[in-house]
A and B are shown apart, each in its own frame.
Chain A
Amino acid sequence: MGAVRSVATASPVTPAAQPADVAVVVPMHNEGSVVGLVVSDLRRVFDLVVCVDDGSTDDSADVARRAGAQVVQHAVNLGQGAALQTGFAHVLARTGADYVVTFDADGQHAVDDAARMVATARAGAYDVVLGSRFLLPDAEVPRGRRVLLRAATAVTRRTTGLRLTDTHNGLRVFTRRAAEGLDLRLGGMAHASELLTHVARHGLRYCEVPVVVTYTDYSRSKGQSSLNAVNIMFELAMHRMYAQS
């Protein structure tokens, strides 16, 4: 069933080509201007879209709901890692989904890629399928962003031992079993490394799939500044220190 996917997205007339055993989790924080489009795009292919509104002060939740998503709302902002964890918890408790996709709310991911990754998880019996923007030969990644991501990837590779090319990509697919084991505690962007630490520690079967990341002015303004690399490292170090408690 994996091969049908790209055809289905190419003709938007065809409704929900994905089987209903996939849930898409979209963490969002003040993304009202773009999340509607992201959700309706997703809904063409995926039945179940869960938006986790991380204490937005704009109309993100209403926009997402109108576009056809289930919305889970944090009363206050907790950070993307916490939002993802809430999304996983909701999907596991309230749906029977066998696969959970994580998808950024700012429109930088392609729905085709998500569908392809689900197909990969199905076919290859992987627990975790990760998107990588660096596996495409002509990937257009802004220079500053590239340097930051390379550094973060190098560190994460060292600490986890996973052979990956892009450790901070928001597009991922988890099997239900893999999602059940997750307990993300780090609020900031360090959850990406935390997630991979989990994959390494539990010996989950993983693979990377090339995906397109579209850099718009919007996603760039919402994205990580280079100084955030320092924050990621710090949060990770703190996490190590307090891991035992």
Chain B
Amino acid sequence: MMIKVVLLAALAVMLVSAVRSRSPRHLAVRRMAAALLAVGGALAVLFPDAVTSVAHVVGVGRGTDLVLYLFIVASTFMWLGVNRRLLELDSRLARLVRSQALAEASRATEDAPVGTLR
């Protein structure tokens, strides 16, 4: 069935994009995917029967099932993106907190130089 190939390919792309670094090209791909999703969504709303025909073409019984599968794939992409973003944010936070902590500590040790601390 074609849908299996499509879904497995999507999963593979997800894994690869999770590992690879964020680049402008990467961003462009994401934006195109989002645009495609919006247009596809609008078409699906306007022509619900078309979804079922497309589902039949890729080997899925009902249009609803196809929508569900694509939804799962899309939300997993989003989860990966958010997770990645959180990791980046974490490391930025660590750098920020560290530099603040070090600045504060150096102010404290200037008041009382090393060796005189008791």
Whether a CB of chain A sits under 8 angstroms from the CB of B75 is no
| Contact segment of A78-86, A126-134, A214-222 | A78-86
Whether a CB of chain B sits under 8 angstroms from the CB of A123 is no
- B 61-118 contacts with A by CB, 8 A: 84, 87, 90-91, 93-94, 97-98, 100-102, 104-106, 108-109, 114-115, 117-118
Whether a CB of chain A sits under 8 angstroms from the CB of B22 is yes
Q: Which residues of A contact B18 (CB under 8 A)?
A: 241
Contact of A75 among B20, B22, B97, B108 (CB under 8 A): B97
Whether a CB of chain B sits under 8 angstroms from the CB of A68 is yes
CA distance A94 to B111 in the complex (A): 13
Interface residues on A, range: 20 to 34
Contact of B97 among A48, A71, A74, A244 (CB under 8 A): A74
Task: Report the count of interface residues on B (CB-CB < 8 A).
Answer: 25
Identify whether the interface residues of A are mostly helix, strand, loop, or mixed: mixed
A70 touches B106 (CB 8 A): no
B87 touches A242 (CB 8 A): yes
Whether a CB of chain B sits under 8 angstroms from the CB of A72 is yes
Q: Return A122 CB to nearest CB of chain B, in Å.
A: 21
B101 touches A72 (CB 8 A): yes
Q: Which residues of A contact B115 (CB under 8 A)?
A: 20, 47
CA distance A73 to B20 in the complex (A): 35
Q: Which residues of A contact B108 (CB under 8 A)?
A: 70-71
Q: Return A16 CB to nearest CB of chain B, in Å.
A: 11
CA distance A48 to B118 in the complex (A): 10
Q: Return A81 CB to nearest CB of chain B, in Å.
A: 9
CA distance A95 to B21 in the complex (A): 37
B residues bordering A, Cβ < 8 Å? Answer: 18-22, 84, 87, 90-91, 93-94, 97-98, 100-102, 104-106, 108-109, 114-115, 117-118
5 A-B contacts (beta carbon < 8 Å): A70-B117, A78-B93, A95-B114, A187-B94, A244-B20
Given A68-B118, A73-B105, A89-B98: 14 more A-B contacts, CB < 8 Å: A20-B115, A47-B115, A70-B105, A72-B105, A73-B101, A74-B97, A74-B98, A82-B97, A85-B98, A89-B102, A185-B94, A187-B90, A238-B87, A244-B19
